Amino acid sequence: NRPAYIFDLDGVLVDTAVFHYEAWKRLANELGFDFTVAQNEQLKGVSRVESLEKILAWGGVEKTDAEKLELAKKKNDWYLEMVAKMTASDLLPGVLAFLEQARAEGKKIALGSASKNAPLILDKTGIARFFDAIVDGNEVSLSKPNPEVFLCAARKLEVQPADCLVFEDAEAGVAAAIAGGMAVVGIGEEGALPDADALVANLGKLVK
């Protein structure tokens, strides 16, 4: 029963992981290697640059910093083509109902995402209006499991970490919430995210 909610974006509100995967796979293929769904799992919640570093290492490919910037831009342009087509129908099950319920209960609501495209995605899916504060990849330099993104969200909401409940689908995100002194609900299949305080398949399960 905490007064503030902080939501991760990818995997909690929308399933952008499939778009990220498609764009990264296209890039890897262009560089001459393949990239699996299992590997994509390891990129959840990981920033764009760090994701690229991992992928290049998997493919055994070395690039200069300038080339990396170019590759990251290429991937992001493909990703944005897919994001451009997003609508409210791309929201994960129960998201709209849960956000409405949270609003009705007077919760303070923030976004805590590693994505630099987060504001655009909230806009495309029509849920930007629910958020009192947005913290995204443009503002934080330390990736989850560092708690910076969530602590920054708490600060913007003017609440203490202990007042926050985080919703996360990634192991690194759950660790970040715990490191920040916050409670965390994991979003995932049974058996996933053992460190979370509770686990649900999607936010719809929390709609009364």
Q: Tell me the angle at which helices 171-179 and 148-157 cross, rounded to the nearest 10 degrees.
A: 60
Closer residue to ligand G16 in complex, CB, 10/104:
10
**8 makes contact with ligand G16 (CB under 6 A):** yes
Q: Name 1's Cβ contacts closer than 8 Å, sequence gap at least 6.
A: none
Alpha helices in 42-157, H assignment, sequence order: 48-59, 65-83, 95-104, 118-124, 148-157
**8 makes contact with Mg ion (CB under 5 A):** yes
Closer residue to ligand G16 in complex, CB, 1/6:
6
Task: Count other Cβ atoms within 10 Å, centred on residue 107.
Answer: 18
For Mg ion, the nearest residue by Cβ is: 11
**125 makes contact with ligand G16 (CB under 6 A):** no
**184 makes contact with ligand G16 (CB under 6 A):** no
**Closest separation between CB of residue 157 and Mg ion, Å?**
19
Contacting Mg ion within 31-50 (CB under 5 A):
45
Binding residue for ligand G16, selected from 43, 127, 135, 203, defined by CB under 6 A: 43
Stretch that binds ligand G16, among 63-71, 114-122, 124-132, 152-160 (CB under 6 A): 114-122
Query: Would you put residue 173 in left (φ > 0), alpha (ψ -120 to 50) or beta?
Result: alpha
CA 37 to chain centre: 17
Stretch that binds ligand G16, among 9-17, 85-93, 100-108, 195-203 (CB under 6 A): 9-17
For residue 186, the SS3 value is: strand
Whether 195 is a known active-site residue: answer no
Residues in the chain: 208
143 binds, among ligand G16, Mg ion, none (CB under 5 to 8 A by kind): none
For residue 90, the SS3 value is: helix
Whether 163 is a known active-site residue: answer no
Q: What residues are annotated to the active site? A: 8, 10
Residues at the contact surface with Mg ion, assessed by CB under 5 A: 8, 10-11, 45, 169-170
